[in-house]
Amino acid sequence: MCPFMLNVVFVLYLAAASACSSPAVEHSPVSGTEERQLPRLDWSSLIPPWLRHRQLGLQAKGQNFMLEDSPFWIFGGSIHYFRVPKEYWRDRLLKMRACGLNTVTTYVPWNLHEPERGKFDFSGNLDLEAFVLLAAEIGLWVILRPGPYICSEIDLGGLPSWLLQDPGMRLRTTYKGFTEAVDLYFDHLMYRVVPLQYKHGGPIIAVQVENEYGSYNRDPAYMPYIKKALEDRGIIELLFTSDNKDGLKKGVVNGVLATINLQSQQELQLLNTFLLSAQGIQPKMVTEYWTGWFDSWGGPHNILDSSEVLETVSAIVDAGSSINLYMFHGGTNFGFINGAMHFHEYKSDVTSYDYDAVLTEAGDYTAKYSKLRDFFGSLSGTPLPPPPDHLPKMSYEPMMPSFYLSLWDTLKYLEEPIKSEKPINMENLPINNGNGQAFGYVLYETTIASSGVLSGLVCDRGQVFVNTVSIGFLDYKTTKIVIPLIQGYTVLRILVENRGRVNYGNNIDNQRKGLIGDLYLDNSPLKNFRIYSLDMKNGFFQRLDIHKWSTLPDTPTFPAFFLGSLSVGPNPSDTFLKLEGWEKGVVFINGQNLGRYWNIGPQETLYLPGAWLNKGINQIIIFEEMMAGSVVQSTDIPHLGRNQYIH
């Protein structure tokens, strides 16, 4: 059964939905959440007769997948809707279909959908239902990976930071404080997902149970709990797990199909042999074939040769395995959502999630795309649809900041600081309706009367100031700094950045950010702190109206905000911002947080989607920690060390 036939179902569904002039108010199944107006339709009346007999769905029968009564190969690719501007979803999905793939796979990020406990957001770029429906319209099946933990190189693996307010929290276990939060989230999420399943006429053919739990494996009761949580809420499609070589032996769950994640042909034979011994003859599936890899600040740009990718994909299919390309299109860690790794040393992920994937960060074709399209086209019984045209790119005139506001001058326009005898970590700040702060920076101030050695646990990076003079940094490597001689009472300030919580590994329970515990001067704990939340969300900037800014001085005081405008013609197009001469900070355009830049690389430009630009004047705000350049340039070519773009 071809997925493009779903178009009929969803055209009918959308038409009926729009015809409901007075849809019933649908109360959230979870107390404390907002009411949401949804058309409640009788799906059976909308589904054509030939689709009303969807009874079996995707099944694992012997060594084959079966969709109803026909053998089925999953040729999939991963696109994360939350990493791609909604305006570009169609372009990316059409390019996937034109590559010969039949299934799109996506994670669902709990931390973005429930930023505050009981407050849910499925709007705009987070409109999961719209993404799934669009995939169906284009002719793609959907595999959903709802977590609750997703890894995905996203902050805390997609778990909300407010979970860490509980000092005894044990993430990814059956600890009551965790399962109660999961139950609330799944109540709301599955309410949206269930109608989109195959057996209800939708495109979702399979759902993953958690993610790579075998490599964590803290609680044997946890995976059965997640499986039951999905089934109890109406998930009726094929359930599966996925694990890498480090976790496969401990990741198998009774009654759930086990699949594998890998990058090399050497791993393929080893893991398939283990699967045969663990679950007998079952369909083989590589849920994550890594087409590239993510980058960390200060490290190299990771690339994987297109010929090697083709050889491995061919070997996987020749071995009788279905496959999902992770990533088909990586997109961008917009805002502060990037994750981190912390094994021997802490390494945070860059803003770009280009991943050296099949499509570039901006959705352009690569040599991998051309080779894989030829390969999957050779397996297709019909000609592939033509690939869509490139989205245009443009270089704009350099932007020169006109206005300026030092961080210290900004403080008087913010909400009153939190006063506390001791430092409070970011997650436990009494803000955001009791949910703490998830992302951004926190500024800690106190008063000292003498010099000495300052020490404490700073997560992740703290710039130390005596009054407004920077004297250095505290981080995981540098845990002490000498305070020079001072005269009388002096303000000590520490600007702490959450660079990204760890998304993979055994230390996710310990990802609280800011100052953790006491801050010491010569081994004596400092007291009486004033704490400013600098989350840099829209509400933060609304306090900084144009009358509060000054003209740009010859010698700015840092850290500081810089304000300028980008002039755009009648057809806004994608571009890449190049911040030569700037050192480390964040860029905002028309209220959108493009993400972090840092001159240590490997990322040298920030992707700016044309869909986020307006015809005419566009506002740019830059928060720079240490050193500003004279201009912000733009280019139509990214600078990521990637040399295989096809134009």
Residue 200 region by backbone torsions, left for phi larger than 0, else alpha for psi between -120 and 50, else beta: alpha
Catalytic one among 153, 288, 361, 497? 288
Tokens of 494: 């520490």
- Is residue 288 annotated as part of the catalytic site, yes or no? yes
In whole angstroms, what is the distance from residue 612 CA to residue 574 CA? 9
DSSP secondary structure string for all residues of 610-640:
GGG--SEEEEEEEEESS---S-BEEESS--S
CA distance 604 to 184: 41
Please give the span between the terminal C-alpha atoms of the chain, in angstroms, as a whole number: 35
Question: What phi and psi, each to the nearest 5 degrees, are found at residue 163?
Answer: -60, -30
DSSP β-bridge partners for residue 633: 578
Beta carbons of 332 and 595 less than 8 angstroms apart: yes
- Torsion angle of the four alpha carbons 442, 447, 451, 454, in this order, in degrees rounded to the nearest 10: -30
Please pick, among 114, 153, 210, 212, the residue that the annotation labels catalytic: 212
| Amino acid identity at 310 | L
Task: Report which secondary-structure segment, H or E, holds 164.
Answer: none
Alpha helix locations (H) across 285-366? Answer: 306-318
Comparing C-alpha atoms, which of 175, 270, 562, 602 is closest to residue 402? 562
Alpha carbons 47 and 3: distance in angstroms, whole number: 14
Helix axes 176-193 and 222-232, enclosed angle (nearest 10) = 30
Distance CA 317, CA 310 (A): 11
What is the full DSSP assignment across 41-106?
--HHHHS-GGGTT--S-EEEETTEEEETTEEE--EEEEE-GGGS-GGGHHHHHHHHHHTT--EEEE
Q: Which of 330, 227, 313 is nearest to 262 (CA)?
A: 313
β-strand partners of 195: none
Q: Annotated catalytic sites, by residue?
A: 212, 288
